[in-house]
Amino acid sequence: MKQSILNRRRFITNGSKAAAGIALFSSLSKKSIALMHNEPKIKFSVININHSHIYGMVDAVTRGGGELVSFYAKEPDLASAFAKKYPQAKPVRSKKEILEDNAIQLILSSGIPVERAPLGVEVMQHGKDYLVDKPGITTLEQLEAVRRVQKETKRMYTIMYSERLENRATVKAGELVKAGIIGNVIQTIGMGPHRMNPASRPEWFFDKKYFGGIITDIGSHQFDQFLFFTGSTKADIVSAQVGNVHYPQYPEFEDFGDVMLRGNNGTGYIRVDWFTPDGLNTWGDARLTILGTEGYIEIRKNIDIGGREGGNHLFIVNQKETRYINCNKDPLPFGELFVNDIVNRTEIAIPQEHCFLATELALKAQKSAQKLGFKK
C-alpha cells in the first residue's frame, strides 16, 4: 500500500514537471517563431525627406520594432536616394495614399521645416501618430494649432531631438544624473556649432521664414536637454540674441544665436552657430555641460579634439573621482520605447508636453531675440 502511494506521488510530480516543461517549451517556441519571423509591432511610412535626419529616424523606429512600408517625396533625387537605402519601402505618388492607408500607424517626416507642422496636423486628423525632425514647429501660431489638434485627436506629435535621444553619451549622462552621481543639477550649457557648406544647401536654407531662425532650428536640441537634465517644467527666457555676422550675401540667414534661461528647477545657457571650420573632421564639436551640486559632466558628442577617436565621449568629475567614459557601446533605447508607446498609448520615450514646452521656449526666445548689429 505504501509503495502504491509512493508511486502515485512520483507520477503526479513527474506529470507536473512534464506539463511545466511542455508549457515552457510552447512559450519558448512561440517566442522563437516570432523572433524568426521578426513580426513588426507597427507599420510606418515617410512623407517628405528634405533633411538627411530622416535616415536616423527610420533606423531608430525600425530598431524599435517598426516596419517601413512606403514613402512619398516630390523631389526625384531625394526619392531615388531614399529608395536605394530602403528598397523594401514602396514609393507612392501622393501623400494622400499614405494618409488614407489604415494599415499605417505612424508617419515620419523631415520636410522643409515650415511645412512640418501643417503636415503633422493632417497626420493626426487621419488618426495616425507623427514623428518629425526638429524643428518640428516654426511659429507660435503653428504651435497653437498643433496643440489643439493633438488634444482633440489624442495622437502623438513627437519631435526627434536626436542630440539627446540618439546620442549614446547623452543617454548615459541621463542615467548618471538620475542616479545622483553629480547631485542636483543646477545648470546646463549646450553648444550647437554647425558647418555651413553653402554649395550643398537648398535655397530655402538661407531664408529664415522656411526654418524659423537659428534658435528655433538648431537651438531646439538644447532646449530639450535643458528641460530633461534640470527637470524643469516651466522656464522664462532671461535674454536672447541672434545675428548674421558673416554672410551678408544671405540677408535672411542667421549664423549666430545664444540664450539664457531660468527654469523652475535650474538654469541654462545655449549657444548655436554656423562657424565650424573646415579643419574639423565632423559637422560640429557639439558639447553639453551639466553642472550639479556634487560634480559635473561634460559630453563631447561628435569628436574629442584632445585626441580620442570617434564620438560619444563623456567626462565626469565628482567628490570621489575624475573619470572618462567611452559610450560608443551604450544602448539607444528611444526607438523601442517610442514604438511601445504607440502600441500601449503611453508616454515613456518622451512626454508630449515636454516636446511642446521645448519648442515653445525656442520659439519665444527666437521671437524676443535682440538683433546683433556689429560689423567686422
CATH number for the domain that contains residue 62: 3.40.50.720
Has residue 93 been placed in a domain?
Answer: yes
* Residues 202 and 263 both lie in one domain: yes
* Residues 69 and 133 both lie in one domain: yes
Asked whether the beta carbons of 296 and 289 are under 8 A apart, the reply is yes
DSSP string for residues in 172-228: HHHHHHHTTTT-SEEEEEEEEE----GGGS-GGGG-HHHH--HHHHTTHHHHHHHHH
Tally Cβ neighbours within 10 Å of residue 301.
25
Has residue 340 been placed in a domain?
Answer: no
**Taking 50 as the threshold, does the pLDDT of residue 313 lie above it?**
yes
Has residue 90 been placed in a domain?
Answer: yes
Has residue 196 been placed in a domain?
Answer: yes
Has residue 376 been placed in a domain?
Answer: no
Average pLDDT value for residue range 140-168: 98
Q: Which one of 128, 160, 192 terminates a domain?
A: 160
* Separation between Cα atoms, residue 5 and residue 247, nearest integer Å: 94
By three-state DSSP, how is residue 341 classified? helix
Average pLDDT value for residue range 294-318: 96
By three-state DSSP, how is residue 309 classified? coil
Average pLDDT value for residue range 94-107: 98
Has residue 85 been placed in a domain?
Answer: yes
Specify the amino acid at residue 3: Q
pLDDT for res 4: 40
By three-state DSSP, how is residue 286 classified? coil
pLDDT digits (tens, 9 = 90+) for 11-46: 334 444 434 443 433 443 443 334 334 689 999 999
Asked whether the beta carbons of 337 and 174 are under 8 A apart, the reply is no
For the entire predicted model, the pTM comes to: 0.88
**Taking 80 as the threshold, does the pLDDT of residue 375 lie above it?**
no
Q: Which one of 138, 160, 182 terminates a domain?
A: 160
Between 360 and 11, name the one with better pLDDT.
360
* Residues 181 and 330 both lie in one domain: yes
* Residues 136 and 90 both lie in one domain: yes
* Separation between Cα atoms, residue 374 and residue 245, nearest integer Å: 7
Has residue 353 been placed in a domain?
Answer: no
* Residues 186 and 274 both lie in one domain: yes
* Residues 114 and 222 both lie in one domain: no
Ramachandran sector of residue 93 (left: φ over 0; alpha: ψ -120 to 50; beta: rest): alpha
pLDDT digits (tens, 9 = 90+) for 235-286: 999 999 999 999 999 999 999 999 999 999 999 999 999 999 999 999 999 9
pLDDT digits (tens, 9 = 90+) for 181-234: 999 999 999 999 999 999 999 999 999 999 999 999 999 999 999 999 999 999
Has residue 89 been placed in a domain?
Answer: yes
* Residues 179 and 314 both lie in one domain: yes
Q: Which one of 109, 142, 160 terminates a domain?
A: 160
* Separation between Cα atoms, residue 90 and residue 225, nearest integer Å: 36
* Residues 367 and 266 both lie in one domain: yes
CA angle, 254 then 256 then 257, to 5°: 105
C-alpha distance from residue 349 to each of 157, 167, 257, 334, 346 (Å): 12, 14, 29, 6, 9
**Percent of the chain with pLDDT strictly greater than 90:** 88
* Residues 205 and 169 both lie in one domain: yes
Domain count within the chain: 3
* Residues 29 and 73 both lie in one domain: no
Cell, residue 131: 514623428
Q: For residue 309, what are the contacts with CB-CB under 8 A and spacing of at least 6? A: none
* Residues 5 and 91 both lie in one domain: no
Residue-number span of the structural domain to which 68 is assigned: 42-160
